Structure 1
Amino acid sequence: MQSSPDRNAPAVTPAQHHIDDLQTLKTKFVSLARAFGRDQMNWRPMEGVRSVHEVVALMVAEVHLFPTIWGAAPPEASESGWEPEMARTEALSPDAAIEQMEAGFDHMIASVESLDAASRAATVDWFGTPMQAEAALSAALFDMHEHLGQLIAYARMNRVVPPWSR
């Protein structure tokens, strides 16, 4: 039975919602990536589509580089720019990629926690489109959810049960 909401609790802010969402994404991505057998990491549904490993590598690149859009420094291990970072992350072993994804989510969460109201309202460049940093963060989260759905579909096709579904 679901408890009734506390009407006296303060409303969740967009900032807190983004942080909570990132923490949920981290938990789901990391646990699902770990649930795949290492022999399944190169599986792809068809030619020309990302493999399981490539989806994980993409997430590493995103959690490292999305925060640079709103002014955060990338982690030391990352490359500058999407193509070099994708090449670096795709070359990682599956275990190293999962470890970097987990640490990268912590990096992204910290970058979001550090944003004040002025930083959230600042105009940034979202892949050629000027928008407020808060809108860019929302766009990043939408994209990450899309890739979580991709990884869930891959799991189902490989009879991997998402750990939170057990």
Structure 2
Amino acid sequence: MLRNVTFFLLAAALVLPATAQEHDNSAYLSAVSMDFSQASEKLSSLAEAIPEDYFDWRPAEGIFSVVEVLNHVSTANFRLAAVLGHKSDYEASATDTKEGALARLAASQAHVKELLDSMAEADLNSTIELYGMTMNHYGAVGAITAHTHEHLGQLIAYARSNGIAPPWSGG
């Protein structure tokens, strides 16, 4: 009897991690894609709500302005996707206009979303070099989403500092 229990536990220990890993990859990609989409929608709607004459506003000298934050996020989205093997042919460079910044941001967000939706679960364990570190794709796609959240928070503070409420907040 003890031998049968030992065999069962050993078999379960070998089989369950493989199936759990497969399930976790799918769940992780789905969660990251959804989180990125939600944060991106908020970032875009907030940028849209900020009047263009505030796009050069910055909280202090040497700190990114509104338009510089949007350009930075767009550039990072394109670069991080490229590091993950999803290069873009989008040609527009950083801009100082609201229209240009919003168009570039939307293109970069669509590009990352395309990457996340097309990424194979097996790819998550592949490694890449990013910012001088070796990391797997789990870390890289997490960094894309975290970066979007970071700068969403930054723009919320910028907007509130200028009396602008995020559109989704109700005031």
TM-score by length of 2: 0.80
Task: Tell me the distance in 1 between the aligned counterparts of 2:78 and 2:158.
Answer: 23
Give the residue type in structure 2 aligned to 1:116: A
1:140 corresponds to 2:144 = yes
Q: Within 5 Å, which residues of 2 pair with 1:149-164?
A: 149-164=153-168
8 Å CA contact 2:49, 2:167 repeated in 1: yes
2:69 equivalent in structure 1: 55
- Indicate conservation of the 8 Å contact 1:75/1:107, yes or no: no
Q: How does 1:1-166 map to 2 (within 5 A)?
A: 13-77=27-91, 88-89=93-94, 91-166=95-170
Deviation of residue 101 (structure 1)? Answer: 0.6
Q: Which runs of 4+ in 1 moved over 2 A?
A: none
Q: How many Å apart are 1:71 and its aligned residue? A: 0.9
Aligned partners of 1:41 and 1:53 also within 8 Å = yes
Contact 2:40 2:148 in 1 (8 A): no
Give distance in 2, aligned partners of 1:157 and 1:76. Answer: 33
Distance (whole Å) between structure 2 residues aligned to residue 147 and residue 130 of structure 1: 24
Rg (Cα) greater in structure: 2
Write out per-residue CA displacement over residues 3-60 of structure 1, whole angstroms, 9 at most, x where no aligned residue. xxxxxxx987000011101111221111000111111000000000000110111111
Separation in 1 of the partners of 2:91 and 2:112? Answer: 14
The answer to which structure has the higher helix fraction is 2
> What CA distance in whole angstroms lies between the structure 1 residues aligned with 2:133 and 2:151?
21
TM-score, structure 1 normalization: 0.83
Superposition deviation, residue 130 in structure 1: 0.4
Q: 1:92 deviation in Å?
A: 4.3
Aligned length, in residue pairs: 147
Q: RMSD across aligned C-alpha pairs, in angstroms?
A: 1.7
* SS of residue paired to 1:13: helix
Shift in CA distance, 45/92, structure 1 to aligned 2, threshold 3 Å: closer
Indicate the percent of aligned positions where both proteins have the same amino acid.
Answer: 30
1:68 is matched by which residue type in structure 2? A
